[in-house]
Each structure stands twice: as structure tokens, then as C-alpha cells.
Amino acid sequence: MPHDQLHTAHVDTFARDRLPPPHLLPQLFFDGPALQFPPRLNCVAELLDRHVAEGRGARIAVLGHGVRWTYAELQALVDRIAQVLVHEMGLITGNRVLLRGANSPMLAACWLAVVKAGGIAVGSMPLLRARELVAIVDKAQISHALCDARLADELAQALPNCPTLLQVLHFGSVARDDRDGIDGRDGRPRTDSGDLEARAALHPGGFSTVDTAADDIALMAFTSGTTGVPKGTMHFHRDVMAAAACWPQHVLRADADDVFIGSPPLAFTFGLGGLLVFPLAIGACAVLIEKTAPEALLPAIAQYRASVCFTAPTSYRAMAAHVAAHDLRSLRKCVSAGEALPAATRLAWREATGIEIIDGIGSTELFHIFISADEASARPGATGLPVAGYRATILDDEGRELPPGRVGRLAIRGPTGCKYLDDPRQTQYVQNGWNLTGDAYLVDTDGQYVYQARTDDMIISGGYNIAGPEVESALLLHAAVAECGVIGQPDAARGMIVKAFVVLKPGHTGDAAMERALQDFVKQTIAPYKYPREIAFLAGLPRTETGKLQRFKLKASVA
């Protein structure tokens, strides 16, 4: 067996059997008492059960549309959902459970129930289509699904091509029909038209948390697809609690009275950490709402008196112009991750709110943020320092460490690390014990890590190395630019040229005069050789559900 099966609580060892072999796993460090974990650990016992057991059951845990659940109420619901999973749906420990829905209190309860029952939670972005769902179900050999009834159609279309997925149950409001569930023993999916909530209400509470090993797998997260080819990453129960012990404690420094809100989906580890794991770890409150576009997030912050906000740079930029129309006096901490934070966006948000954004870089492979700067040490253009518990360095193409000021490959070690599900790309991400994130960075003279580009997005033009995000940051300083994306376009004379795709603000026209104006502006803002030699004006940019720019789609348009 590739991994020790003697201590696992998982009867279904499919996922554990497909962990990378030991020689391809990253080197881990567990520095400090907060990162010393017992051999037996279920993260839901720490995130939820502990608060009720220690007398904090009356504190508010989750808020949402028409929902105000205390920790005790959340625990009772989670226990009942776990009963449904085990006693009605036949979940055995180690089974993979697809979770499908927009952010909501019920989706959070489902995630907690799956993990508490010893299952493996597999999140899925709400906008995924049937073909994409089939790929995830097949890769993870998913056997169960809990799906928001409003998203049932795409999953139903996927089911004929998902032979392993035999149990599906819906939650949320649904127009009922007369169809009975199908048993599943004949190989056909059992799809119940009734609500998960109704079935859960028939069960008693008091579900005993499964005694999982600290290194049993708690969740699979599929990468958000900026390259177009998602990968399944696996995280242990220990990984979830290690992430909660590092960046939140040492950089964010929120407390139990904080109210967390934001836009990233729970299917994305940035959202799972920031909007569920981290608030519950400290006994705080999580606001989970479906509509999180900039025009909806601002009034939601005011409505729920939120104090900590997680969202993407593009959202902060869009919201900055409308801050004055909303009461944001409760807001005290703002977190940005998912893509590079332009200096212009940081400045615009600070001028609008007085709040310095906490920027950071993390990855689905390592669960959450590993380099960041708090409000006091934040510097425009820099990401920050390695988070306590993590180590970072810059490597050249041969794996040698580079001195400050040299651009190279960002490499990370810490208490979490990349564990792809049966994927040959493990050898690309983990090398000599380091996690290679695919980002090009340099270390500045003050020790801060400064983002340059994705390693495959560096533009080499006429012998110069040009980082696309730097050009984007320069363009965003222009008053006419709403958003932009920069790539390298093949060119016979220069190898590549810088090409910009620009979305203009209302009232501006994308013509030849505007193109020259933007080119001249960039030349005056950064080194002239970095200016975009071609500019295309678009109505919008291709982005993932988490707000990341999909540069591969821009590249495809010029290939």
C-alpha cells in the first residue's frame, strides 16, 4: 500500500490510495505549539463542536438571507444532515461527496456535515456545466451529491455519464413533483425531489463526530481553471487547522466579535478559509450570501454590519467609487487575494474607506495564503513576507536559490503542501521538497516579496523581460481604464510584443486616439520599452468565478 492504512478512519480508501508517493510530497514544517496536532483529529470537532462544548453555543455562527444560526443551532443541523448522509444515503467514511450551490448557510452546513461524518467534501463552482461536472465526478469517483435545487438541471444532465454517482439529494426551495427516488441498486442514480432540510428534520441530533486521523483527507478542491485544465488537490483535516493557525492568527488578527463577509465561493479554498474555516476557528460569525457582485456586496456589508471582507482586486476597484453611498462604519479589515493587487486599486480603496487592504498570495494546492503583509507593513506593489509557519525562497530554473533583486520561481514550504489526486503534474509543482507555485517573484531590498507574473506569462520582447501585471498596473492608473489584461503576442521581429486588452469606463471611446494616449501614459509611468505596442478594446474580460483573469483565453485569441 502506498500510504499507511492502519490508522485511517476511511473505509473507502480510493483517495488515500491516490495520494502522491512519499518522494513526490513536499517537505513539511510544523514550527511552534499551534502547529502540533494530535494523531486523531476531525477538523469539525475544532471548528464547531468545541465551541458548543465550551459554553459558546449561544454565539451567532452564521448569518444569511433569513438565517441567524447560533453555534448550537448550526451543530444540531449539521448532526441531522450527517444522519441523513449515513443512514439514508449510505455514506461510508472516505466517500467523496459533491457539494453544489452558491454560498449560503445551508451549503456551509452540508460541508461541515460531510466532513464530520468522515466523508470527503468536494466543492464545485456554481457556474460549472454538465461536461465540467462529469470531469470532476469521474476524476474523484464521487458517489454522493448534495445540490441546491436551483442548480439541479446541470447535474441531472451530467448523471448519465457519472456511473459512480448513485446518491443525489437536493436542498433549498424546490417545486415538488411526484417522482419517487430511485434506489440506486440497479445502477441508476437515486434523485430525491424532496428537501434535504425536510429529511434532516426527521432525524435526532447528537451525531458523534467520526474519529478521523489527522492525515485523513477532509476535502478535495479543484483548481479554478486559469489554465483551462483543473487539477484535484487534497487536504487533510490537519491541513485545515494548520491554515487556520498561520495567516489568520499572525496577519489578519481578527477576533470572536468579528463578522466575516465576502465574495469567493466556498468551492474555492480562498472562500472556504476566509468565509467558513477562519471565522469558525475563532468563534466568530460568517455571513454567507449568494449575490456578491460589487453592487451587492457593499449594501450587504452595511446590512450585516460586517467587519472583515474577503474579495478580489477587481471587486475592490469596482466598489471604491460607490463607497460613499453605504454605511461601512463596521468594516475594519479588507483582504485581497486570488490575483495581484494593483497599486492603483490599493490606493483607490484606501482613499475611499481609510482601510489599507491586506494583500496575500496563496494557492489551492497549499489551501490558503502563505505570503502576506498586514496593514502596518503593506507596501504598494509588494505582496509581503512569508507568513509565520511558512518558508519561502526564489529559485532559478536549475533549482538554485537566487539573491535579492533577481526574478525567479517562487518556492514555498510549510505545514501544508501540494497533494494532487493521481496527477502527473505533481512532479512539476513539488520539486526537492519545495512547492513551486508557478509565480515569478523577486525579493526586494527590504525583504518583501514582489510579484512579477505567472512564470508562463513573462513576456520576452526584444531581449527584455516584461511582467504583464506591471503593465496592467500602469494602465489602471489612467482615469479612462476600468480593467485590463496584458499578454505577450508572438512577433516575427521582436519574438513577442506586449498586447493589452482594455475595458474602458463609460464615456470613453476605444479608438486610435485612445490607444495612443494609453501607450504614451504607460511610457511615462514605467520603463518605455514595456508599453503595449497593441491595444484591443473589449466590453469585458474573461474571468473565473473567483475573479481571476483567464489569460489563456486572451492568448488563444492571438494564437
pLDDT attached to residue 4: 59
Which residues of the chain fall below pLDDT 50?
1-2, 174-188, 193, 225-228
Query: Which grid cell sits at 242?
Result: 494548520
**Residue 374 falls inside a structural domain:** yes
End position of a domain, from candidates 423, 454, 485: 454
pLDDT attached to residue 125: 86
pLDDT attached to residue 185: 37
**Residue 230 falls inside a structural domain:** no
Choose among 280, 145, 116, 111: nearest CA to 205. Answer: 116
Q: Residue 59: which residues within 8 A CB-CB, separation 6 or more?
A: 51, 70, 71, 256, 283, 285
**Residue 441 falls inside a structural domain:** yes
**Residue 227 falls inside a structural domain:** no
Q: Kindly report the CATH number assigned to the domain that includes residue 377.
A: 3.40.50.12780
End position of a domain, from candidates 429, 454, 479: 454
3-state secondary structure of 126: coil
Task: Report how many domains make up the chain.
Answer: 3
Q: What is the residue-wise DSSP string for 43-107?
A: HHIIIIIHHHHTT-TTSEEEEETTEEEEHHHHHHHHHHHHHIIIIIS---TT-EEEEE-SS-HHH
Is the domain of 318 the same as that of 389?
yes
**Residue 449 falls inside a structural domain:** yes
Is the domain of 38 the same as that of 178?
yes
Is the domain of 399 the same as that of 518?
no
3-state secondary structure of 380: coil
Q: Kindly report the CATH number assigned to the domain that includes residue 84.
A: 3.40.50.980
Is the domain of 77 the same as that of 199?
yes
Is the domain of 444 the same as that of 524?
no
pLDDT in tens, 218-244: 999 998 544 445 689 999 999 999 999
Is the domain of 129 the same as that of 264?
no
Is the domain of 206 the same as that of 70?
yes
**Residue 49 falls inside a structural domain:** yes
CB 199 within 8 A of CB 169: yes
- Checking DSSP bridges between strand 144-148 and strand 96-100, what pairing results, if any? parallel
- Checking DSSP bridges between strand 259-262 and strand 308-311, what pairing results, if any? parallel
pLDDT attached to residue 460: 73
Handedness of CA 519, 520, 523, 526 (dihedral sign): negative
Is the domain of 475 the same as that of 441?
no
CB 367 within 8 A of CB 274: no
Q: Where in the sequence is the domain holding 378, given as residue range(s)?
A: 237-454
Q: Can you tell me the distance from the alpha carbon of 413 to that of 404, in angstroms, rounded to the nearest whole number?
A: 19
End position of a domain, from candidates 222, 247, 277: 222
Handedness of CA 101, 105, 106, 109 (dihedral sign): positive
Q: Can you tell me the distance from the alpha carbon of 45 to that of 479, in angstroms, rounded to the nearest whole number?
A: 50
Q: Residue 40: which residues within 8 A CB-CB, separation 6 or more?
A: 211, 212, 213, 214
pLDDT in tens, 247-290: 999 999 999 999 999 999 999 999 999 999 999 999 999 999 99
**Residue 22 falls inside a structural domain:** no
Is the domain of 217 the same as that of 287?
no
Is the domain of 529 the same as that of 432?
no
Choose among 299, 250, 297: nearest CA to 275. Answer: 297
pLDDT attached to residue 94: 98
Is the domain of 166 the same as that of 259?
no
Is the domain of 41 the same as that of 176?
yes
Query: Which grid cell sits at 258?
Result: 468579528
Q: How many CB atoms within 10 Å of residue 59?
A: 16
**Residue 151 falls inside a structural domain:** yes
